[in-house]
Structure 1
Amino acid sequence: MIARLIRQNYSFFLPYALLLIVVGILLAQSDRTDLMRWVNDRNHPFWDRFFYHFTDLADGVVSALVVVALLFVRFRWALLGGLCFLLSGEVTQLLKHGFFDHEMRPSAVYQNSGWLFHTVEGLDLHTRNSFPSGHSTSVFALFCFLTLIVANKRWGWLFVFLAALAAYSRVYLFQHFVADVYVGSIVGTVTTLLVYAGIQSYWQRNAPAWLDSRINLKR
């Protein structure tokens, strides 16, 4: 089923695969400080304000609101979305607070380096639990899931762009290294794909009748 889902939703997975290859090459060939400097040097007041607000798209609250909205579309999608978002988030939190608890954020790493890095006014910079990026996990899980359930698959092109832009915002805002958002995106996408495929496969054989119902406010 996974291979079929990838083929059916190539509008998301094709550009995402290309993005992984390009960024993966950059990570392999460049020092993480060089990548941070490249992004940080390309700051502008407009982008400061834009990314300050746009990064909220990757907040888990947005995913929760999507789940609530899906209750009015189909219980199946709301339940599936909730599972995808919850499990992908748990994987990232396990990595972040367990295996990679020692990984510091850019602001802490470069605090005494002599580098006068650019920061966005009014933004609270975190210092710990840098790897992987929870926001990147959340936003890629969200838009991967939306691609899987929408009828018009052309939306996948826009969805992967929005997810990538939100992940980039975490680097621009000096909250994460490139590797953090890179791995976070993989966790979000892969977990969502696996959960969606597994649950849908099970429901093909054991789907309760209420699954395709929805909240209807009309009387």
Structure 2
Amino acid sequence: MKRLNGAWIAYGIVFILFEIVVGRYMAVFDRFDQMRIINNWHAFKLDYLFRALTFAGELLIPILVLILFVYKKRAWVKPFLFSYAISTLIVQGLKHLVFPTALRPYAYFKAVDIPWYLVPGVEMNEYNSFPSGHTAAAWFCFMWIALFINKRWAGFAMAILACGVGISRVYLFQHFPVDVAFGAFIGISSSSIFYYIYHENIAA
């Protein structure tokens, strides 16, 4: 039987807790209150924090991790790229083929006369809300970083960062919680599948 990595287990525990909390949040509040409560958090320091966290879910971080693996863990390059490709294909397929008219919060509430707080400098998108690509990329990428460090604390720490990226997408008024929950599931699932498939080759 394949021995599971401690960092992967820690990462998975935080993921499960994240999904439970987000799921409970969605069950208790309707879509309007889901956004209103988080929108009311707004603060100058949080604006910068969540803009930085959302940046961590963009293309630059996966590219940096890929470069790291090319030089330090060449056997990890193939499963990393495969998991990235699958995650991206699923997210973009859902966004553009299955749910192309899914409105983002800015467009969804456009007709509601509410003075929503919008973080300065953030471009408001209106369509392709489901699922969150940034969140999927974060949960995909930070898992591989945790595996690379190969410590249980790294699993917890990287998962917390991935949670932060997900929260940032709601805070920045770019996604609903459901978009984030499914994005996280896609990201961690794609990485976990290829980690398991290539486990014998990439085990530390």
Aligned-pair CA distance for 1:8: 6.3
- Tell me which residue corresponds to 1:75: 74
Aligned-pair CA distance for 1:172: 0.5
CA distance in 1, matches of 2:6, 2:121: 43
- Tell me which residue corresponds to 1:172: 171
Q: Deviations over 1:37-84 (max 9, x none)?
A: 000011011111222232100002210221012111021122221221
1:163 aligns with 2:162: yes
TM-score normalised by structure 2 residue count: 0.92
Contact 1:135 1:167 in 2 (8 A): yes
**Number of residues paired by the alignment?**
203
Higher mean displacement: 18-27 or 166-175: 18-27
CA distance in 1, matches of 2:51, 2:18: 23
CA distance in 2, matches of 1:17, 1:41: 26
Instruction: Give the counterpart letter for 1:41 in structure 2.
Output: N
Aligned-pair CA distance for 1:179: 0.6
CA distance in 2, matches of 1:151, 1:168: 25
Instruction: Give the counterpart letter for 1:152 in structure 2.
Output: K
Contact 1:81 1:145 in 2 (8 A): yes
CA distance in 2, matches of 1:54, 1:190: 21
- Tell me which residue corresponds to 2:194: 195
Higher mean displacement: 23-32 or 170-179: 23-32
Q: Deviations over 1:100-147 (max 9, x none)?
A: 111011000111211110001111111110000000000000112222
Contact 2:135 2:162 in 1 (8 A): yes
- Tell me which residue corresponds to 2:27: 28
Larger Rg, first or second structure (1 or 2):
1
Instruction: Give the counterpart letter for 1:42 in structure 2.
Output: W
- Tell me which residue corresponds to 2:60: 61
Instruction: Give the counterpart letter for 2:19 in structure 1.
Output: L
- Tell me which residue corresponds to 1:207: none
Percent sequence identity over aligned pairs: 29
Aligned-pair CA distance for 1:177: 0.5
- Tell me which residue corresponds to 2:85: 86
Q: Tell me: CA distance 1:40–1:191, structure 2 relative to 1, closer, same or farther (3 Å).
A: same
Instruction: Give the counterpart letter for 1:59 in structure 2.
Output: E
Instruction: Give the counterpart letter for 2:166 in structure 1.
Output: A
RMSD over equivalenced CA pairs, Å: 2.0
